[in-house]
Amino acid sequence: KAGVTQTPRYLIKTRGQQVTLSCSPISGHRSVSWYQQTPGQGLQFLFEYFSETQRNKGNFPGRFSGRQFSNSRSEMNVSTLELGDSALYLCASSWDFQGNTEAFFGQGTRLTVV
Amino acid sequence: AQSVTQLGSHVSVSEGALVLLRCNYSSSVPPYLFWYVQYPNQGLQLLLKYTTGATLVKGINGFEAEFKKSETSFHLTKPSAHMSDAAEYFCAVTAYNTDKLIFGTGTRLQVFP
């Protein structure tokens, strides 16, 4: 079956703009999480969604937001982009939120802010 | 609160040598522990996980890890390194009732011929 699909794969934006990233989970998976990966900070948790409800949020400013739709697809939005937002954004999906099931990761969206 | 420490940001081994990547965790609740591998320009792939039960867990590509509660460790090993093992490895922890993964800083494994 198809894996986790993230679109777009690459994105270049200018400071001050906003961006929306999309994640389609594996069919049947209802839990979606987002992570930011940078050389300096490593992998940091952004959000966790299950059945359209945000269950957890990481320590990021309010410029970072997300949502999940009824078909489990998820989007994250970053407004007023800063240079420091340049990163690889990874989405992961799993069957549920119990913690002991495997999270499957997409290939990520590489965002460059100039 | 939970945290993960990976000792050694870079590890180099010769092909055929033992691979040992270290991971220590901190958790106030029973942890679920994971090792993920990341190849360049790719997402993360699960190597193995410990949730409950047997403390020695075997994963893909010949990797295994042992959960040692007394040492709060979950080190990753492979008896014989292969060139294709060169990648970045991440240890992660979570707990019951959440999919929020807390990752270590990663260890880049180089394998020399």
Predicted local confidence at residue A97, as pLDDT? 76
- Pick out chain B residues at pLDDT < 50: none
CA distance A15 to chain B (A): 24
Percent of chain A with pLDDT over 70: 99
Question: A99 and B94: CB-CB below 8 Å?
Answer: yes
Amino acid, single-letter form, for residue A94: S
Cα separation, A98 vs A54, in Å, equals 15
Query: What are residue A46's phi and psi, to 5 degrees?
Result: -105, -60
DSSP lists the bridge partners of residue A102 as none
Q: Are B89 and B76 in contact (CB under 8 A)?
A: yes
Size of interface A-B (CB pairs under 8 A): 69
Query: For A59, what's the count of Cα atoms within 13 Å in the CB-facing half-sphere?
Result: 4
Q: Are B3 and B101 in contact (CB under 8 A)?
A: no
A102 pLDDT above the threshold of 80: yes
Predicted local confidence at residue B53, as pLDDT? 87
- For residue B104, list chain A residues with Cβ-Cβ distance below 8 A: 42
Q: Are A15 and A83 in contact (CB under 8 A)?
A: yes
Average pLDDT, chain A: 95
Cα separation, A24 vs A89, in Å, equals 14
- For residue A92, list chain B residues with Cβ-Cβ distance below 8 A: 44, 99, 101
Predicted local confidence at residue A1, as pLDDT? 64
Residue A60: name the closest of A91, A93, A82 by CA.
A82
Whether B52 contacts chain A with CB within 8 A:
yes
Predicted local confidence at residue A43, as pLDDT? 96
Q: Are B42 and A107 in contact (CB under 8 A)?
A: yes
Cα separation, B16 vs A45, in Å, equals 35
Of all helices (H) and strands (E), which one includes residue B26?
strand B24-27
Predicted local confidence at residue B1, as pLDDT? 82
Question: B100 and A45: CB-CB below 8 Å?
Answer: yes
- For residue A98, list chain B residues with Cβ-Cβ distance below 8 A: 96-97, 99
- Among A56, A102, A106, beta carbon nearest to B98: A56
Burial (Cβ within 10 Å: 0-12, 13-18, ≥19) of residue A73: middle
Whether B1 contacts chain A with CB within 8 A:
no
DSSP line for B52-100 = SS-SEEE-GGG-EEEEETTTTEEEEEESS--GGG-EEEEEEEEETT---
Predicted local confidence at residue A100, as pLDDT? 77
A24-69, pLDDT tens digit by residue? 999 999 999 999 999 989 999 999 999 999 999 999 999 999 999 9
- For residue B97, list chain A residues with Cβ-Cβ distance below 8 A: 97-99
In chain A, count H helices and then E strands. 0, 11
| C-alpha torsion sign, points A22, A28, A32, A36 | negative
Contacts of residue B84, Cβ cutoff 8 Å, sequence gap at least 6: none
